[in-house]
Amino acid sequence: MQQPRARWQVWLRWHSGGQLTNTIFTASRSSSFSQASTIALFPGSFDTDSKLTKTLWTQVMAPSRRTSGIPAPAGSRSSSQRTHSVQSGLSYRTASSAARLGDKTFEDSVLAPRGIVIVRQQPFVDPFGHFKSPIPTEGKRVEHYYSQPGLEHCTIWLEGDKKFLKRQNDEYTYMKFTKKSGAEFQQYALEKFFKNEPRQLTLEDHRGYLCERVVNTTLKPEDGNALWAEPPETCHHLSIAPYSFDIRPDCSYWISLQPFNKNYQGKVQGVVSVQEDLLCPYLTIEFKKDDQAGASQRKAEQQVAVAGSLALYSRYLFHKSMLDLLELGYAEEYWQEIRHYGITFAGPEYKIWVLKPTVNYSNGDWQGCTISILSAGDLVRDIVAVDDLVNWTNEIHRWGLLIHGAECHKDARIRLYCTDGRPRTSLTPEEFDRMKQGIFDSNDGGPPVNDDGKPRTSLDLEELARLRESLSDG
């Protein structure tokens, strides 16, 4: 009995008459190229080039791909083979069209190939438990944050007394049931929850760190800017869709360069991305209209994933460059405070997120990041959710200024200190030696807070105090 002949089908793509043409070639093991049949996938006829067809078919059947002659799975190809495939005109793993934010496939085709994973389900946590920080006395929240060294000049804190909580619950209930637009929800939240610091061109006398709220600014990476680049592809076995990372978050908070030492303020942009005197964003917020189907919330989450991963990858590059100079290795404890936070809104419903890098601790390579949910609430359903949002907002700002801001400033000082022809900083050789000998000790992975409840960073308290003093001193 005659055995059926094995047959293969392969996609071939090339330009024909100025248009990209997709064709399926079908051939059996014993067939010659004159016997290969073509099936056009799009209307219209076109002429095929027999020489080009034979060349492409030879590449597909080349023994180097597999000794048996059967095409290897996409995941088993080396990077050089993948590059060769694309250059040859064969489309193995590149998605056919650009992905759009909000599509269900966006995470699979844009985020996943870059190792960016959204974790939407896990137990919720309390902000004070998450940050291992003391709980403010009821009715004295603003006083609590003002009393912490380095925060006495900040005005972004929310008191969140009973009158405030009831007022917000009433307002969001009204906006929900009168079906206000997403822009209305955004405008109100920026007014009541996400405040900005007073701004001026020069600061006369300021100790500590300042943040600045930025609304609807572009974060698109520019060609040649290695300090602000899109997260790289890390999962090469997955199909990836074209995406430009041209994102404009509704709101974000950045560290201001203004309080930095004037002697080297202008040099900081050489070691970290500085955009309009702002650096190292730590919080991204997205607003969408109320949506029962969940599509708006999904789009907001994807936008935070894109904007947040850009910010986190930039922070990773900055921190790793400092670790490279100190030659201390890339152990897990060195990455504990490298994070970014996000808040998404769909009408009155909010979710709190944290982004953390996935790092190869042996060589420091970036492998992607996780975006994990921390808490969620509905500002209409109960006042407790309003109180929760107040606490998360205050605590994210406290971390962003006292810990994130201090770490960014420390990394900048070390980078500048190690630069040939370095500008003058307040970092002494003795302090630098202490850093190189292990100032980054993490207390064996303990919580980022001291016994007295004060926040702990990789700096000791004496050095943290010196850092604050050096912001304006020469």
What is the rounded CA–CA span in Å between residue 54 and residue 36? 10
Res 184 pLDDT > 80:
yes
* Span between the terminal Cα atoms of the chain, in Å: 92
Tokens for 189, please give them: 């939240």
Interstrand relation of 211-214 and 251-256 (parallel, antiparallel or unpaired): antiparallel
Separation in Å, CA 197 to CA 155, 156, 165, 209, 218 = 6, 6, 22, 11, 21
- 323 close to 439: Cβ distance less than 8 angstroms: no
**In this structure, how many other beta carbons lie within 10 angstroms of the beta carbon of residue 156?**
22
pLDDT per position as a tens digit, 53-79? 555 454 444 444 333 333 343 444 344
> Which residues, 6 or more positions from 469, have their beta carbon under 8 angstroms from its beta carbon?
207, 426
pLDDT per position as a tens digit, 216-264? 999 999 888 999 999 999 999 999 999 999 999 999 999 999 878 777 8
- Give the least confident one: 387-396, 446-455, 462-471: 446-455
Reported confidence tier of residue 328, pLDDT bands at 50, 70, 90: confident
- Give the DSSP H or E segment for 131: helix 127-131
> Which residues, 6 or more positions from 321, have their beta carbon under 8 angstroms from its beta carbon?
271, 411, 415
pLDDT of residue 98: 72
Instruction: Return the bridge partners of 231, or none.
Output: none
3-state helix vs strand vs coil in the chain, percent to 5: 35, 20, 45
Give the amino acid at 223.
Answer: D
Read off φ and ψ for residue 357, nearest 5 degrees.
-75, 150
pLDDT of residue 329: 92
Give the amino acid at 395.
Answer: E
Instruction: Return the bridge partners of 288, or none.
Output: 346
Average pLDDT over residues 22-33: 41
Reported confidence tier of residue 199, pLDDT bands at 50, 70, 90: confident
Res 37 pLDDT > 70:
no
pLDDT of residue 27: 42
Res 316 pLDDT > 90:
yes
> Which residues, 6 or more positions from 127, have their beta carbon under 8 angstroms from its beta carbon?
133, 374, 375, 388, 391, 392, 394, 395, 396
Interstrand relation of 19-28 and 37-40 (parallel, antiparallel or unpaired): antiparallel
Contacts 24+ apart (CB under 8 A), 334-339: 334/440, 334/442, 334/458, 335/359, 336/442, 336/448, 336/458, 337/403, 337/404, 337/407, 337/448, 337/457, 337/458, 338/312, 339/282, 339/312, 339/404
What is the rounded CA–CA span in Å between residue 363 and residue 229? 20
pLDDT per position as a tens digit, 285-302? 999 988 776 788 999 999
3-state secondary structure of 348: coil
Mean pLDDT of the chain: 78
Average pLDDT over residues 384-401: 98
Q: What is the pTM assigned to this prediction?
A: 0.73
What is the rounded CA–CA span in Å between residue 302 and residue 101? 7
Interstrand relation of 340-346 and 349-359 (parallel, antiparallel or unpaired): antiparallel
Reported confidence tier of residue 86, pLDDT bands at 50, 70, 90: very low
Separation in Å, CA 49 to CA 12, 169, 175, 376 = 12, 69, 63, 59
pLDDT of residue 30: 40
Res 173 pLDDT > 70:
yes
pLDDT of residue 323: 93
What is the rounded CA–CA span in Å between residue 192 and residue 251? 14
